[in-house]
Amino acid sequence: MRIVVLGAGVVGTAAAWWLARDGHEVVVLERHDGAAEGTSYANAGLVSPGDATSWASPAALKTFFRGLYRPDLGIHVRLTADPYFYLWTLRFLRECTTPRLRANTLVKLRMALHSRDCINRIEEETGIAYDQRKKGILYFFRSQQSLDTGTDNYRFLGEHGLPIEIVDRHRIIELEPGLAGAAEKIAGGVYSPIDQTGDSRLFATRLAAHAAEKFGADFRFGTVVETLDIEGGRVRAVRTSKGPVEADAFVLSLGPESGIFGRRHGLDLPVYPVKGYAATIPLDDPSKGPTMGGADEDRLIGYSRLGDRLRLTSTAEFTGFDHSHSPRNFRTMFATGHDLFPGAFDESRAEMWAGLRPMMPSSVPVFGQAKYQNLFLSTGHGHLGWTMASGSGQFVADLVAGRKPQIDPKGLLYEN
């Protein structure tokens, strides 16, 4: 078939690669001048099934409301005139029960584990490099109290297929010598040995190039998707800033804009943007930096080692489609980086960035046919877009082809 993919973030690009590999004629439409220039530009770099716990939980509910008046928390909530924010919030609240937390987490874990296998399969088949490291990820806590309460979710993941190791500070330093200078500030944590890291932007740009060169995929950058032409219950074409593009099937992967675009066409698609901040810093002394990815669970800051660069990320901010940032947004991030890796970097050399995660209220992405029989979804991946992208692309290719999916689709398919 001729298939148009809307969006060339890491999720859309992965879908395009799998579809082109299946032999379809694939066209990818992207408003930016290259792949992964939006949400996928500078995420945490963590391919992390260990982070598959749903954001919507009883604990997140408390933090969400505290974020209305506590600017020092990892979650910030700015009240807005957008009525859809309040509708999304109501849906989010309904997901913040323990039964829903467990159910949503299991769906995310299923896709995350599948996707981790898929990214390694793509790497082996294409030979692309993206500053990948396969040493696992550490999730650590600074106090015994937070360690005692914070490991429950990881134990749940461990009971359902994720290899984990509960570790004390001595084992953490053994695994990650880069944290030796902060050993006395860490109580313990969780080590997920199958987690890995890599630069999602490098991955997406090189995968797009491979899809174009090997399979003939046509990436049309600088092309704004405007609307869909609907005819007889099917999408006939997509209208763009450079004219209409017809196809047999369409895949919607527009990141945080997916919700707005979908609602224009009668889709109940509750994707809302959640802002995060990232700093990418050259390591002045690579020997003092981390050797693997990690997350400071008390300060809600993630990091990864990308070649000789350090990536620091933090914050979930509900501010609509605001991409702005200022130096104050990075103060805690830099302070934590120096605390964990003293002497490793100079923040004056940092590239600072803010991006929007496409969040569903359940924090579970959504796939499958949506209202129109030839329109497929792959969106709403939230904070695990990089983790789930490769498996999502393979899953979409199965759905488009009418094949039995390689993973159980329960909880992943769109319901209007």
Closest CA to 362 of 414, 321, 293, 398: 414
Question: Which residues span the domain enclosing 351?
Answer: 2-401
The pLDDT tens digits for 359-403 are 999 999 999 999 999 999 999 999 999 999 999 999 999 999 999
Domain annotation covers residue 414:
no
Domain contains 378: yes
- Inside any domain, residue 127: yes
User: 234-249: per-residue pLDDT in tens?
Assistant: 999 999 999 999 999 9
Q: What is the CATH number of the domain that holds 312?
A: 3.50.50.60
Task: For residue 302, name the pLDDT band (cuts at 50, 70, 90).
Answer: very high
pLDDT for residue 82: 86
Indicate whether 408 belongs to any domain: no
Distance CA 61, CA 358 (A): 19
Tokens of 335: 């302070």
What is the C-alpha separation between 169 and 187, in angstroms, rounded? 6
> Based on the structure, what is the number of domains in the chain?
1
Residue 262 near residue 252 (C-beta atoms within 8 A): yes
pLDDT in tens, 180-201: 999 999 999 999 999 999 999 9
pTM of the model: 0.96
The answer to whether residues 73 and 67 touch, using CB atoms and an 8 Å cutoff, is yes
Domain contains 407: no
Average pLDDT, the chain: 95
Residue 267 falls inside a structural domain: yes
183 in a structural domain:
yes
416 within domain boundaries: no
